[in-house]
Amino acid sequence: MGKRDLQQCADAIIRLRAEYLYSQRRGGEICFDFTSGHEASFARWADGYRAAVRGGQVAWNRTAPPDSSYAAFRDYLEVVFTYAGTHSLSRELAPREAEEMQIGDLLIQGGFPGHAVLVVDIAQNPETGEKVFLLAQSFMPAQDFHILKNLGSLMSPWYPLDFGPYLLTPEWKFSRSDLKCFPEAPGHAAP
C-alpha cells in the first residue's frame, strides 16, 4: 500500500487496472483523470512530464528524464492516487447492465465520499443458470484489498446476481445502475 494513506477504494482499483496493463506491456493505455478532469497518462509521465497542480489547474512540465521503469510507474500511481478518486473514476467508466456483469467490472458511486468495489469472480450453477459473484475493496483509511462478506446471505462471501434494485455491502449500498466497466482499447479484452 505504500507509506501514505492513499490507496483507498478507487485507488486500489486504479492500481490493479494499471498493474495489469503495465504487466502486459500496455503502458500506453494507462491513463486516468484527476478529479479536476485533467488527464494523467503514464506515457506522458514516462516521457519525463510531471504534474504541477495549483487549485483546480494542472500543468504538465518536462522536469525529469524519460523513465518507464517500475519505480517510475509506482511514482506515477502515487500522484494519481493523490488527485483522482471515485468522482473522476466513475466519469471514465462505461455503464453495464447487471445481467451482463463480468469479472473486472465495478460497482461505483462517485462522490465526496463515494465508494467503489470490484467484481473479482463470477460462478454459475450449471443446472439452474443462477449466477453469483465476489466483491473486493479497499476503504478509508487505506487498507489492503480484501474480499467482502455478504452479511445478508448464508452463501457469504458470494452475492447473487439477482440482488434486486439495491446491493448492500458491509459499508455501502449500491444500485443496479452503479455497475460500470473500463472501456477497452481496440483489440484487447478486459483483464
Give pLDDT tens digits for 84-106: 988 999 999 999 999 999 999 99
pLDDT at 5 over 90: no
Query: Do residues 21 and 54 share a domain?
Result: yes
* Number of Cα atoms under 13 Å in the Cβ half of residue 36: 15
Instruction: Tell me the residue range of the domain where 48 lies.
Output: 9-85
Query: Do residues 96 and 41 share a domain?
Result: no
Query: Do residues 59 and 101 share a domain?
Result: no
- State how many domains the chain has: 2
pLDDT at 191 over 50: no
Query: Do residues 95 and 81 share a domain?
Result: no
pLDDT at 180 over 50: yes
Going by their DSSP bridges, the two strands 57-62 and 49-54 should be labelled as: antiparallel
Cα–Cα–Cα angle for 39, 43, 46, nearest 5°? 120
- Look up the pTM and report it: 0.84
At 161, list the grid cell.
446476481
Query: Do residues 151 and 170 share a domain?
Result: yes
